[in-house]
Amino acid sequence: MLTPTPLYTPYRVLICDLRSDQLLDVLPLWDVTFDEYLGKTGALSAAVRITDRQLAARARESLVPGRTALWVERGGDLWWGGILWTTNRASDPRGYSTLNLQAATWDSYLARRMLYDSQLATQLDQFDIVRNLVDYCAALPGGDIGIEHTTNTSGTLRDRTYSRFDLPIVRDLIDQLAKVEGGFEWRIASVRDPAGRRVKQLQLGSPVIRSGARDIVLTHPGPVLSYSWPTDATGQANAWQSRGSSTNRNQTAASTPLMSHPVVNAADVEAGWPRLDGSSDYTTVEQQATLDAHARADAAARLRPAAMPEVTVRLDGSITPALLGATARLRITDLWWPEGMNSRHRIVGWSVTPPQRGRPESARLLLEAS
């Protein structure tokens, strides 16, 4: 069997134990792509090409789904971190064997943790509610994967009751709290502390996470190689109602869910838009005020068509792993915008494609209006 000639890449992937972060191995990975977002879980996919028995033994020992952490380094900087969740051993007709990997960012761990004890928060800052949930997960045997957090606050106090009888997923509770009116953004970033230690850092920002003191300037033609500008009105709504938990605890009687007060944007209809209805479900919400706050937040988010531009750029010194939440000044001149378009956007996601034979290094940035 022929051994593929390695291609130089500025990236390397550290394979570590999830709980202790002890370095287990550093293996050559191929076909690597990884991404990270504000508001949803990022992913990594890669493959280990099994070229001999020694490499197979190393991969078998170190790459264990569910207990292995992967850190992506570029030039000494941490660009991505997450948990290996699935592997797939495959062999093709020519006898080449590969181990395909799928990993997800650290927040995916909280999607696999549940509350087995009821939690009560009374007039507590919403950031402290999140930190208490994360600390609850870490306090149980085997539950500490090293997520660290700061003590910043949002200034918004909440009352929340989480019942163990609902078997709630911790990730779902945090997401639901974040999306209420006056909510926040959160992520678990992969960073190095001043001592060079790898850290899984819980970041919280209200109303959003912002980073960087100056705008990143992106131009097309120029560093922007290509772009797409989708506009989607399929989820748009100017009338909204949310549904909560059942208000009837008597199982022998008819059950009626708690309903929010309707949110209708009359000015939108008067301006010529057709009435567009929308709804959302919050099956664990039992308080009218909380459900109404969810409905208002959802209605505001869906009032206009969703426009999430994506730009593909060359990787240079202005594109770093700390760009999530940074503001970009986007300037485009082409047939659609012959006079030039100049607008500000916040970077809410990125996807990196490392260099590979016949494929240059690039990054795809997901933007939202700033």
What is the tens place of the pLDDT at every residue in 231-264? 999 999 999 999 998 866 656 666 789 999 999 9
Enter the CATH code of domain 113-205. Answer: 3.55.50
Three-class secondary structure of residue 265 per DSSP: coil
Say what the pLDDT of residue 249 is. 60
What values do phi and psi take at 109, rounded to 5? -65, -40
Instruction: Give the whole-angstrom CA distance, residue 168 versus residue 162.
Output: 8
Has residue 1 got a pLDDT over 70?
Answer: no
CA distance 173 to 169: 6
The answer to whether 11-107 and 113-205 have equal CATH topology is no
pLDDT at site 256: 85
Confidence tier at 282 by pLDDT (50, 70, 90): very high
* % pLDDT > 70, the chain: 94
Peptide bond into 207 cis (omega under 30): yes
For domain 11-107, the CATH architecture is Roll (2.30)
pLDDT at 3: 37
Provide the CATH topology of domain 216-230+308-369. PUA domain-like fold (2.40.450)
pLDDT the model gives residue 251? 61
Q: Does residue 93 or residue 289 have the better pLDDT?
A: 289
Cβ of 24: how many Cβ atoms within 10 Å? 18
The answer to whether 100 and 45 are in contact (CB under 8 A) is yes
Structure tokens of 170? Answer: 């911790």
**Rounded distance, CA 252 to CA 297, Å?**
35
Torsion of CA 354, 358, 360, 364, to 10 degrees: -70
pLDDT over 70 (residue 5): no
Q: What would the DSSP string read from start to end of 4-39? A: PPP---SEEEEEEETTT--EEE----EEEEEEEESS
What average pLDDT does the chain have? 91
Mean pLDDT of 294-309: 92
* pLDDT above 60 (res 7): no
- 90: its two tokens: 């495959």
Sequence spans of domains, the chain? 11-107, 113-205, 216-230+308-369, 239-301
Output the pLDDT for position 233: 94
Lowest mean pLDDT among 71-75, 124-128, 335-339: 71-75
Say whether pLDDT at 8 is over 50: no
Least confident of 84-88, 173-177, 280-284: 280-284
Residue type, 57: A
In the prediction, which pLDDT does 356 show?
67
Reduce the DSSP state of residue 263 to 3 states and report it: strand
Q: Per-residue confidence at 144, pLDDT binned at 50, 70, 90?
A: very high
Q: What is the CA radius of gyration of the chain?
A: 23
Report whether pLDDT(351) > 90: yes
Q: Provide the pLDDT for residue 2.
A: 33
